[in-house]
């Protein structure tokens, strides 16, 4: 059982406050979805959890299994088992997917076995309906938006994380690719029971990946939390005040209790 | 596959009928001259291994309509090389070049002499000490195309200077001139790029770029987010930068990667 806990996190970029006393706890076996208007800090949250130095943590703490990880480097966090599927995966010239993943697995595990690696990557590429030649092409080089997202899921399968953050993994995907990505994330979840944090704008991804908790984020903090039924209210009201006043809110209740 | 290996003053060649060469020893200035002529479409490896302070001029003449895929590898301690390419009508040359020499003074002249002559010159170099490159391209005929790509990485005591000039005289119409120069500097040493375009004709498409900096932090973040430590991620990015756009087979890429790995040991 792993637990990612974020406590009163305040983060700024270029002196602008992006995350404002953000709190969240995610455990193995739980799927959380964060939704919210553009520019509210959702992607910032994912990058900060991963340790991106472009963001300044002003106060607050991030714990992984009760160990504070604020001081850990990006690679150290990744080796704990935290994985970030990025919204816009970068193109890296000249570094092939297989070299990249082999290096990553070597860095994690001295007991790396090439035969097992080849067997697994071939199987996963097939499962994701990717072109086999992509294994030997530069990371995301010449990939379409959909291929890049599938490549993120391929990396997830190969690295076997225990805590997964997927930042708008559905953007740029056609209907078939969305289904493949969604089903494969769910398959990984069923097989491994990781903690998953989904950041998304659309209900369509949640047709495939069923969240246990849905949170609404506004102005850098969670303003309402509920179960999957909250998604249909978002569809109905958008993110305006009506929605925030509708039904119960875990966050509201918590604040009221405080 | 044609191959010429030059070890200081010694030449070993494996050539078919499409290529001839001639090596003349030391003129008055002490410069050896290697003259190569290419008659038919072909590929060729040109490997220079400089153990001592050798001065060399290489002239590569490419006949009309000939396509040449040339891989040049320069290794050793000190190299003073003048390389001149002469391209006639409709010739098409792709140069993939990797330099791994401690001290280099290299002077490259590309003469696009015939109509529609075309060259892609792709240089990759690793600097451990002082590397000076002067690369001059002359578009002396209409409809000629040059695409000059210079990528260098500075490590240890490395310093790189790219002085890259492209010339289009009046009367050479519809030429396409492109320069891209990039140095990844992993030291505090000074590096210089001078990307010059001397255009004396209106009907020309020309572009140039120059970039000096460390490895891209966003790329580092992406690699490190998969558990790769900073040093290994930097090395991966450097290897990609030096091999990514080269038109060479995997064996040659592996050879370059092995050489880069040696510097991190």
> Among A113-117, A154-158, B6-10, B101-105, which range has the highest average pLDDT?
A154-158
pLDDT for res A257? 54
- In this structure, is residue A196 part of a structural domain? yes
Residue A248 scores a pLDDT above 70: no
Helical (H) or strand (E) element with B163 = strand B159-168
Other Cβ atoms within 10 Å of A229 Cβ, number: 9
Nearest to B225 among A54, A74, A101 (CB): A74
DSSP B64-79: TT-EEEEEEEEEEEEE
Nearest to B227 among A75, A93, A138 (CB): A75
Kindly state the average pLDDT of the residues B100-126: 95
CA distance B86 to A120: 51
Residue B8 scores a pLDDT above 80: no
Reduced to 3 states, what is the DSSP secondary structure of residue B12? strand
pLDDT for res B211? 96
Measuring CA to CA, which residue among A55, A50, A58 is closest to residue A20?
A: A58
CA distance A118 to A188: 19
- In this structure, is residue A124 part of a structural domain? no
pLDDT band, very low/low/confident/very high, at A231 (cuts 50, 70, 90): confident
pLDDT band, very low/low/confident/very high, at A75 (cuts 50, 70, 90): very high
- Domains of chain B, residue spans: 2-214, 215-265
Residue A222 scores a pLDDT above 60: yes
Domain that holds residue A240: 3-88+163-257
Q: Give, as one character, the DSSP assignment of residue A132.
A: G
- Per residue in B178-225, pLDDT (tens digit) is 999 999 999 999 999 999 999 999 999 999 999 999 999 999 999 999
- In this structure, is residue A50 part of a structural domain? yes
Nearest to B225 among A84, A94, A139 (CB): A84
Chain B residue closest in CA terms to A76: B227
Answer yes or no: do A93 and B240 touch at CB < 8 A: yes
CATH number at residue A189: 3.40.50.300
pLDDT for res A249? 54
Give me the sheet containing A213-218, strands edge to edge.
A82-85, A163-167, A195-199, A31-35, A213-218, A221-226
Q: How far is A112 from chain B, CA to nearest CA, in Å?
A: 14
Answer yes or no: do A92 and B239 touch at CB < 8 A: no
Q: How far is B216 from chain A, CA to nearest CA, in Å?
A: 10
Are A73 and B227 in contact, with CB atoms under 8 Å apart?
no
Q: Which pairs from B190-196 meet CB under 8 Å and 24+ separation?
A: B190/B159, B191/B152, B191/B154, B191/B159, B191/B160, B191/B161, B192/B160, B192/B161, B192/B162, B192/B163, B193/B161, B193/B162, B193/B164, B194/B161, B194/B162, B194/B163, B194/B164, B194/B165, B195/B162, B195/B164, B196/B163, B196/B164, B196/B165, B196/B166
Instruction: Output the CA–CA distances (angstroms, integers) from residue A247 to A241, A250, A252, B190, in the order listed.
Output: 12, 10, 11, 63
- In this structure, is residue A225 part of a structural domain? yes
Among A49, A75, A109, A163, most B C-beta atoms within 10 A, so best to mutate, is A75
> Which residues in chain A have their CB less than 8 angstroms from residue B258's CB?
none
Residue A247 scores a pLDDT above 70: no
Kindly state the average pLDDT of the residues A121-145: 91
Interface of A with B (CB under 8 A): 50, 52-54, 73-75, 78-79, 83-84, 86, 89-90, 92-95, 99-101, 103-104, 107-108, 138-139, 155, 159
pLDDT for res A112? 81
pLDDT band, very low/low/confident/very high, at A142 (cuts 50, 70, 90): confident
Interface of B with A (CB under 8 A): 217-219, 221-230, 232-233, 236-237, 239-245
pLDDT for res B80? 86
Measuring CA to CA, which residue among B151, B101, B93, B138 is closest to residue B119?
A: B93
The answer to ipTM > 0.90 is yes
Among A49, A92, A102, A152, most B C-beta atoms within 10 A, so best to mutate, is A92
Residue A252 scores a pLDDT above 70: no
> Which residues in chain A have their CB less than 8 angstroms from residue B239's CB?
94-95
Domain total of chain A: 1
* φ, ψ at B120 (rounded to 5°): -115, 115
């Amino acid at each position: 059982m792993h637990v990612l806990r974020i406590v009163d996190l305040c983060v700024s970029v270029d002196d602008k406050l992006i995350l404002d006393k953000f709190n969240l706890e995610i455990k193995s076996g739980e799927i959380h979805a964060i939704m919210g208007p553009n520019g509210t800090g959702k992607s910032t949250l994912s990058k900060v959890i991963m340790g991106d130095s472009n963001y300044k943590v002003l106060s607050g703490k991030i714990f992984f299994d009760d160990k504070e990880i604020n001081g850990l480097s990006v690679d150290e966090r990744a080796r704990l088992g935290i994985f970030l599927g990025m919204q816009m995966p970068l193109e890296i010239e000249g570094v092939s997917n297989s070299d990249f993943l082999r290096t990553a697995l070597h860095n994690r595990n001295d007991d790396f076995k090439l035969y097992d690696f080849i067997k697994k990557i071939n199987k996963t590429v097939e499962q994701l309906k990717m072109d086999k030649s992509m294994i030997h092409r530069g990371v995301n080089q010449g990939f379409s938006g959909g291929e890049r997202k599938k490549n993120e899921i391929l990396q997830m399968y190969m690295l076997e994380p225990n805590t997964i953050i997927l930042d708008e993994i559905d953007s740029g995907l056609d209907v078939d690719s969305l289904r493949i990505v969604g089903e494969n994330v769910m398959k990984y979840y069923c097989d491994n029971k990781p903690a998953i944090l989904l950041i998304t704008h659309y209900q369509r991804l949640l047709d495939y990946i069923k969240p246990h908790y849905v949170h609404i984020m506004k102005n850098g903090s969670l303003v309402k939390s509920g179960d999957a039924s909250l998604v249909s209210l978002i569809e109905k009201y958008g993110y305006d005040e009506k929605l925030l006043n509708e039904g119960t809110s875990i966050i509201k209740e918590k604040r009221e209790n405080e | 596959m044609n191959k010429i290996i030059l070890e200081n003053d010694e030449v070993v060649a494996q050539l078919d009928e499409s290529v001839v060469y001639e090596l003349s020893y030391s003129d008055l200035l002490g410069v050896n001259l290697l003259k190569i002529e290419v008659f038919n479409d072909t590929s060729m490896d040109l490997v220079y291994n400089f153990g001592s302070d050798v001065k060399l001029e290489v002239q590569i003449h490419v006949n009309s309509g000939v396509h040449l895929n040339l891989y040049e590898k320069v290794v050793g301690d000190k190299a003073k090389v003048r390389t001149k390419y002469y391209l006639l009508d409709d010739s098409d040359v792709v140069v993939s070049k990797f330099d791994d020499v401690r001290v280099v003074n290299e002077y490259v002249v590309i003469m696009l002499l015939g109509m529609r002559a075309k060259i892609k010159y792709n240089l990759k170099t690793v600097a451990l000490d002082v590397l000076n490159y002067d690369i001059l391209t002359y578009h002396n005929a209409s409809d000629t195309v040059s695409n000059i790509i210079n990528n260098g990485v500075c490590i240890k005591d490395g310093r790189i200077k790219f002085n890259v000039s492209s010339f289009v005289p009046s009367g050479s119409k519809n030429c396409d001139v492109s320069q891209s120069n990039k140095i990844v500097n992993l030291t505090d040493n000074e590096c210089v790029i001078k990307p010059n375009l001397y255009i004396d004709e209106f009907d020309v498409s020309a572009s140039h770029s120059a970039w000096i900096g460390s490895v891209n932090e966003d790329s580092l973040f992406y690699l490190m987010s998969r558990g790769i430590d900073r040093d290994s991620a930097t090395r991966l990015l450097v290897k990609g930068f030096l091999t990514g756009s080269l038109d060479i087979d995997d064996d040659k890429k592996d050879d370059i990667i092995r050489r880069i790995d040696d510097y991190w040991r």
